[in-house]
Structure 1
Amino acid sequence: MNKPILTRRQLIRLGALGASSVVLSGCDAFDLLGNRSSSVRDIVAKANDVTYYVQRFLIGDALAREYPESEIRQPQKPNGSTNPQTPEYLALKAADFSDYRLSVSGLVETPKSYSLSELRNMPSRTQITRHDCVEGWSCIAKWTGTPLSVVLDEVKLRPSARYIVFHCYDSLGSGRAGPAFYYESCDLADARHPQTILAYGLNDQVLPVSNGAPIRVRIERQLGYKQPKYIRAIEAVSTFEDIGRGRGGYWEDRGYEWYAGI
């Protein structure tokens, strides 16, 4: 069993600018954080950057804790989107995802797309980990999938790539530009971490729709909203400037912090 890594709570006790976590976790409750020109947002964002670098320094490449099967005592709780209703997703689901293709593009030398069967036939990893939600609950489950690093090695990232963005099928409302599709991102350290997988299995069964079928990303050292479901495409980028509202994720665009390490 792996040794537990240093948690965010421990970092706060060490004085690692815990105030940034308290404010940003409030999301839309703090209207000032939605104003990109706000001086308060700038201060909080800089404090969050420091928290990110402190955690990266202290944690390094450590693994998230893994558990024995005896600790799996309930099904993985579905939350957020549990049954996307976009036409493209409904068509894929009706065909049992036989037509699914995961595109990997952006700052890569060899863009590729993968069927679900191709992903299942690639090297795999199974891990029993705890999902920690920003809402306060947690759940231990067994996940099986393709290490994201295997896919990134195949497409060959360009030197200018700094982040990996996950585009999803599920929409959480709409705006003037149309449906607001969920998206998330991580840096290359998390993307290449051995526990970061493109999960297609849950508790020795095929990943159900309610938990993100056909593919869900598991980034085990981050909170639940950083582990997107219903993955449509993966994109390597150097900046978030032209994606969503430019903050690296659906909830980050609405006030959550981008780095949600635990």
Structure 2
Amino acid sequence: MSGFSRRGLLVGSGGLLLSGCDRITTSPTARSLLSLGEKASRSAQRLVAGNALAPEFSAADISPVFRVNGNTRPTAAAYLAQVERGFADWRLTVDGLVAKPMAMSLAQLRALPQRTQITRHDCVEGWSAIAQWTGVPLALLLHGAGALPQARYAVFHCADDFSGKPYYESIDLAEALHPQTILAHTMNGQPLSVGHGAPLRLRVERQLGYKQAKYVMRVELVASLTGLYGGKGGYWEDHSGYQWWAGI
């Protein structure tokens, strides 16, 4: 594995980044370094690590505190109404370049085969925390919906926004089909709190914290990110210069 570590660059360097998952430095030097890290990490993971798993931990390693950051409570009336109803009539939509679009309730998702994993969340702010996550493997949903051959990216549309701009994230199909990529509904044995992304959040364990989209409402398969919102593959990528590839 390459000695150039994106985790070391992004997580270990407090001087390079400002206060993390909510904003990023606009320094041209920092952006250049981030770009180098992105290319090195992506090449290493795809050419060397392949489908390797991110490290997993024991229950004894679970952090006593796991920060709530980013948006902590979406303000959309439709979302708040779902919170009041306990997400009883909430549905996850899976559509785009699929043969069989789906709309699934939380109960239906919980009835599918589940994966539980204890993993570390690494934020670009410089902090990390370990938690246990349980949810549906994303690969299971994409296979069930019949992903079409031209699909290259999974886009996660979320219930929250920043200053009226919708929040979203995306990953490529290789990462979407990775066995540790799940849509989690449970954290440390309890249903997700609103602050941590209820009712469903993405866990893509080989990437940095800002890729772990909360409040996921829709998964859309697309052939290209061009023309989707700002065209760079995520809210922070569009508006704050974050790198789309956040592999660690």
Q: TM-score, normalised by structure 2?
A: 0.87
**Which residue of structure 1 lines up, in the alignment, with residue 219 of structure 2?**
234
Inter-CA distance 47–223: structure 2 relative to 1 (3 Å threshold): closer
Structure 2 residue 241 is the aligned partner of structure 1 residue 255: yes
CA deviations on 1:124-143 (whole Å, 9 max, x unpaired) are: 00000111011110001000
Runs of 5+ unmatched residues, structure 2:
none
- Tell which deviates more after alignment, 75-84 or 252-261: 75-84
Which residue does 2:94 correspond to in 1? 104
Runs (4 or more) in structure 1 with deviation over 4 Å come to 24-28, 43-47
Q: Is the 8 A contact 1:25 1:256 kept in 2?
A: no
Deviations 1:207-259 (A, max 9, x none): 11110000001000000000100001000001111211100001111200011
Residue aligning to 1:95: 85
3-state DSSP class of the match of 2:4?
Answer: helix
**In the alignment, is the contact (CA less than 8 A) between 2:34 and 2:243 conserved in 1?**
no
Query: Are the counterparts in 1 of residues 68 and 196 from structure 2 also a CA contact under 8 Å?
Result: yes
| Partners of 1:69 and 1:157 in 2: CA distance | 35
Rate the CA distance shift 1:104–1:210 in 2: closer, same or farther, 3 A. same
Please state whether the residue corresponding to 1:211 is helix, strand or coil.
coil
- How far off its partner does 1:28 sit? 5.3
Letter in 2 for 1:259: W
Report the CA distance between 1:49 and its aligned residue: 4.0
CA distance in structure 1 between the partners assigned to 2:184 and 2:34 by the alignment: 33
Alignment partner of 2:190 out of 205, 208, 212: 205
Q: Are the equivalent residues in 2 in contact too, given 1:25–1:257 (CA < 8 A)? A: no
What is the Cα deviation at residue 25 of structure 1?
6.1
Task: Please say if 1:30 is aligned against 2:30.
Answer: no
Give the alignment partner of residue 170 of structure 2, picking from 163, 185, 190: 185
**Deviations 1:12-49 (CA, angstroms, capped at 9, x unpaired):** 49xxxx79xx9x9676533769xxxxxx98x9868844
Aligned length: 238
3-state SS of paired residue (1:198): strand
Is structure 2 residue 140 aligned with structure 1 residue 169? Answer: no
Please give the secondary structure, in 2, of the residue aligned with 1:209.
coil
Per mean C-alpha deviation after superposition, the further-off stretch among 211-220 and 57-66 is 57-66
Matches of 1:149 and 1:30, distance apart in 2: 36
Instruction: From the superposition, tell whether residues 239 and 77 of structure 1 become closer, same or farther in structure 2 (CA, over 3 Å).
Output: same
Structure 1: runs of 5 or more not aligned: 1-5, 34-39, 174-178
Paired residue secondary structure (2:242):
coil
> Which residue does 2:113 correspond to in 1?
123
Shift of 1:51: 4.1
Question: Which residue of 4, 10, 14 maps to 1:11?
Answer: 4
Shift of 1:53: 2.4
Q: Does 1:220 align with 2:216?
A: no
Amino acid at match of 1:150: L
Distance 2:173 2:88 in 1: 30
Which residue, 245, 251, 254 being the options, matches 2:230?
Answer: 245
Q: Which residue of 1 aligns with 2:70?
A: 80
RMSD: 2.7
2:46 aligns to what SS in structure 1?
Answer: helix
How far apart are the structure 1 equivalents of 2:58 and 2:24?
A: 38
Aligned-partner SS, 1:30 = coil
